[in-house]
Chain A
Amino acid sequence: MRAGERLAPLEIPVTRTLIVAGALASRDYQDVHHDPELARQKGAPDVFMNILTTNGLVGRYVTDHFGPTAVLRGVAVRLGAPNHPGDTMVLTGRVEEVDGDTAVVRVVGANGLGDHVTGTVTVTVPGAGS
């Protein structure tokens, strides 16, 4: 693993099922993640993905790339444009810095509205030091 290395993009179809299943798997019962009518009353056009699901997908993207020995040390994400049903989020990533066998990966998840998520993942990959 080297600074500048790019991760292959990962396309995530943002289905209603993913939004609801992700919210419930993370035990997040906020109505905006499963009830379109209440989401609209709160100013959103439809239900939207919760931050725990986004966080989980960002972590998955990085461990998918580095394999099952990769150990996540930290994930920091900021949300922008919401992930609504029917959209597609494309995750892209780039290794920003490498220190021994630990790397900081910058991840962006873009949907049809703009950047849904920007963030960094710190990951240790035993034996991958440069």
Chain B
Amino acid sequence: MGDERVDDELGARLKAFEGRPAAVAGVGKDPVNAPMIRHWCEALGDTNPAYTGPDAIAPPTMLQAWTMGGLSGHQGRSGAYDELLGLLDAAGCTAVVATDCEQGYLRPLRPGDEITFDTVIEHVSARKTTRLGTGYFVTTRMDIRADGEPAGVHRLRILKYAPAPRGPRARRPRPVVNRDNAGFWQGVAEHRLLLQRCTGCGTPRHPWLPGCNACGSPDWDTVEASGEGTVHSYVVQHHPPFPAFDPPYAVGLIELAEGVRMVSDVVGVPYDKVRIGLPVRVEFLRCDEELTLPVFRVVDR
């Protein structure tokens, strides 16, 4: 990441912060202590006996927790780091999310250890656009000491970004309803999955069409499908993220028990667990006040 091109003025100003201190001689607000260890273990469901009793150590992954400013804010934070964050805030990059954390543990921390730390701004990325918004990745490296001895290294990468605007959630595309297929959509509105059936030769068909593709007859009636089927094939949509859709998601080609096939969402399992042959059953998804769609839920059979 060190040799990327910075082609915006703000990026160049931010880049100049590399190597400057983010915190100098920071002091942990509390020494390492048993109550905070217990609260952590309770929250995370960690029952490791190494973290309790007279010889308890702190969970090593608590390393950063001992340095946190909490609600009352940071102490020891340098002017440079505040200036960097201020520039980003002023540019609209008001939101922050952590993306990477690398910790190395040099010695165990025990109740009573007094924590001190120094932090340097290690890297500022060029401007990046992510799904959350556009902004800059800032990497800091913190050296943490316990009672003056090196105890660990904590490297954190955050994305400081301008949130992408979120309008009201887009609605799913509307189906094209015409004279040929109106009966199908009428059935869906009533939570019935209707197939056309040729009254000449008895062949069911889908999608709805004016004539039979087996015998050519224009005459037909309808039959309600059982709703049972299997995944005949599928695709997983990753990109691009169309409005109203939240990739990744699976789109199935479902073979109904009656022998016709239908394209729709496969729901009830993660997108990467959809497989050919999975048994499914229709259910009716109310997308909004005007639209209901038949989708297929994976079932045990």
A-side interface residues toward B, CB under 8 Å? 12, 18, 21-22, 24-30, 32, 40-44, 50-53, 55-60, 63-64, 68-69, 71-79, 110, 112-114
Contact = CB atoms under 8 A, between A and B. Distances in A.
Contacts, number: 117
> Taking each of A42, A55, A68, which has the highest tally of chain B beta carbons within 10 Å of its own beta carbon?
A55
A68 B67 CA distance: 25
A124 B99 CA distance: 26
Given A43-B163, A60-B46, A26 B40 contact: yes
Nearest to B270: A112
Interface residues of B, number: 42
Interface stretch (B15-23, B58-66, B118-126): B58-66
A78 B43 contact: no
Nearest to B132: A43
Contacts of A27: 65, 68-70
A50 B101 CA distance: 11
Interface of B: 36, 39-40, 42-46, 48-50, 59-62, 64-65, 68-71, 94-105, 108, 132-133, 156, 163-164, 166, 248, 270
27 contacts: A12-B45, A22-B43, A22-B44, A25-B40, A25-B43, A25-B65, A29-B71, A32-B95, A32-B97, A40-B166, A43-B163, A50-B98, A51-B99, A53-B43, A57-B44, A58-B61, A59-B60, A60-B45, A60-B59, A63-B48, A74-B105, A75-B102, A76-B102, A79-B97, A79-B99, A112-B270, A114-B248
